[in-house]
Amino acid sequence: MLLNVKNLTKSYAGPDGTVPVLRGVDVTLGTGETLALTGESGSGKSTLLHLVGGLDRADAGEIWIDGRDVAQLGDAGRAALRRSQVGVIFQQFNLIPSMTVAANIAFHARLAGQSDAAREEALARALGLTEQMHKYPEQLSGGQQQRVAIARTLAARPSLILADEPTGNLDEGTAAEVIDQMLALVTEAGSALMMVTHSMALAKRMGRQLHLSQGQLT
């Protein structure tokens, strides 16, 4: 099993005291599998994604990725995990505004020490970015920026891709196009994908769907 989440809990301090976000969540995901996480706002979807990606720390529970417990890793260990095994695609794209499209696509792979120009070019071609390679993110549309973020993640060849509402900022047509391309490339790469989405239509295109409500899987 690539991902094994056991009894995960997380709460935040709010103005009226502690607010529980996740209450004993269990999730598993195998290599090449795709999983949709759905639920209303504040149900804990993004928090679960952040915890799995080592972007935040859980209060209790275990997160095993490829035989390693993320909860036990320090900052450097979790950074290494994100660099080499996990790729995160954000709703806000999070591109580096001062770097060109080409540099952005290559960036994660360079950090991981496995830059491959041919693969980056192939990804850019597959995502229709060939003409945009020398442009800066601010010169691209939202859909194009998200394609760059997807290419960046896939170029680093992570075994687990976490996507946090990747089409949340895109119109319906563009969103469908981007998702088609992303799923095709993820499948081709053999990576596992866990995607947070509000869209039931999109969720149905994943191998499995999990619904979170008030911090628990239903």
Chain residues binding other proteins by CB under 8 A are 50, 53, 55-56, 75-76, 79-84, 88, 90, 94-99, 103, 107-108, 110-113, 136, 141-142, 156, 169
In the complex, minimum distance from the CB of residue 204 to other proteins, in angstroms, rounded to a whole number: 27
Other beta carbons within 10 Å of 207: 13
> CA of 155: how far to CAs of 21, 97, 147, 171, 208, in Å?
33, 19, 12, 25, 25
In the complex, minimum distance from the CB of residue 162 to other proteins, in angstroms, rounded to a whole number: 10
Task: Report the candidate in 155, 145, 141, 140 with the shortest Cα–Cα distance to residue 189.
Answer: 155
| Residue whose entry in the numeric block shows the structure tokens 């769907």 | 209
Q: Which is nearer to other proteins, 139 or 207 (CB)?
A: 139
Q: Which is nearer to other proteins, 169 or 209 (CB)?
A: 169
Q: Which is nearer to other proteins, 79 or 184 (CB)?
A: 79
Q: Which is nearer to other proteins, 20 or 142 (CB)?
A: 142
SS3 212: strand
In the complex, minimum distance from the CB of residue 94 to other proteins, in angstroms, rounded to a whole number: 5
In the complex, minimum distance from the CB of residue 163 to other proteins, in angstroms, rounded to a whole number: 13
Other beta carbons within 10 Å of 75: 9
Q: Which is nearer to other proteins, 26 or 172 (CB)?
A: 172
Signed CA dihedral, 117, 82, 165, 27: sign only = positive
State the Rg of the chain over Cα.
17
In the complex, minimum distance from the CB of residue 100 to other proteins, in angstroms, rounded to a whole number: 8
SS3 215: coil
